[in-house]
Amino acid sequence: MALFPFRRPAPVQPAPADAARLLDGFSIEVMPRTAEKVESFRAILPAGTRVYLAHIDGTPFEAMLATARRIAAEGFPVMPHFPARIIPDRATLADWVARYRDEAGIGEALVLGGGVARPAGEFHEAMQLLETGLFDGFARIHVAGHPEGNRDIDPEGGEAQAMAALGRKQDWARARGVEMAIVTQFVFEAEPVFDWAGRLAAAGIALPVHIGVAGPAKLQTLIKYAVACGVGPSLRVLQRRARDVTKLVVPFEPTELVEALAARKAADPAFPVERVHLFPLGGILPAADWAAALCGRGSAARTA
């Protein structure tokens, strides 16, 4: 079967309605310590917002489970992370899956390799977790994507291993009738995403993409996280802004990025980016406020 790569249409001007349409239905990422600062998720997030629960190495599982229960009780779908490299063995994975399912009513997960240098046990990649069979019965599984590459997966550069891994995950999901999407590392400009979308199509990857976007934050905060997380060429957006001292004290907002992606989606519906996933690096409320304003809902805090 012939593959027809994604072709970029001619540049178009962004329309506010297109940006609001792309941002509608966004998801957001929290950790137990950041969730503790939110008195009510219902007060700041639209109904039905998917909340990813990030599992950072060293976070006790009981804290993860308690946070999942609390957010689910407020009526939001919760998608906990399962990072392969921090899970010591199959028994631990089975326990986590069962407790999330039975105690918090969770039936979806983000399954990923995890960014630690040395695996805690027998797992080192997401596919190994899927192949345990422990996620059979989950309605939705998301996997990680890296528009600007990932040295953990492809140490010599390029993305041959990353693309092959996405192909295996796509095959796994299709064979089981599981809804799967790619959620990406955050980026700061659209051009690398356009290029990556073309390479996904050329590799036969047809999974929908939920693009990672860093919420409003101080420039210094974003640069720190970007360097730590291995963000690639799009980091230059922050570096250019850093040269203007008048902008160092003004939070950076991802509006231009979302508008550019939305314009591309409006011009070519085959463009695989379907949702925005917010990394609230400057705080959950500022991220929710920004999304509410761009969608024309006003401040999340004021409309609560």
Number of domain units in the chain: 1
Q: What is the 3-state secondary structure (H, E, C) of 207-219?
A: CCEEEEEECCECH
Task: Specify the DSSP class assigned to residue 10.
Answer: P
Does some domain include residue 34?
A: yes
Does some domain include residue 304?
A: no
> Residue 291: pLDDT band by 50, 70, 90 thresholds?
very high
What is the pLDDT at residue 228? 65
Give the lowest-confidence range in 38-47, 203-212, 213-222: 213-222
Q: Using the predicted structure, report yes or no on whether residue 94 has a pLDDT greater than 70.
A: yes
Higher pLDDT, 156 or 51: 51
For residue 176, the SS3 value is helix
Which pTM value belongs to this model?
0.87
Percentage, residues of the chain above pLDDT 70: 84
- The whole-angstrom separation of Cα 45 and Cα 278 is 12
- Which pair of tokens denotes residue 23? 């941002």
What is the pLDDT at residue 270? 95
pLDDT, tens only, 191-200? 999 999 999 9
Does some domain include residue 3?
A: no
- The whole-angstrom separation of Cα 110 and Cα 82 is 6
83: CATH = 3.20.20.220
Give the lowest-confidence range in 49-53, 118-122, 147-151: 147-151
> Residue 10: pLDDT band by 50, 70, 90 thresholds?
very low
What is the pLDDT at residue 302? 40
Q: Are 76 and 45 in contact (CB under 8 A)?
A: yes
Does some domain include residue 264?
A: yes
Q: Where are the beta strands (DSSP E) in the chain?
A: 27-30, 51-53, 78-83, 108-112, 140-145, 179-187, 209-214, 273-279
Query: Could you tell me the residue range of the domain that residue 247 belongs to?
Result: 16-296
Mean pLDDT of the chain: 87
- The whole-angstrom separation of Cα 266 and Cα 288 is 24
Does some domain include residue 1?
A: no
What is the pLDDT at residue 300? 59
- The whole-angstrom separation of Cα 53 and Cα 80 is 4
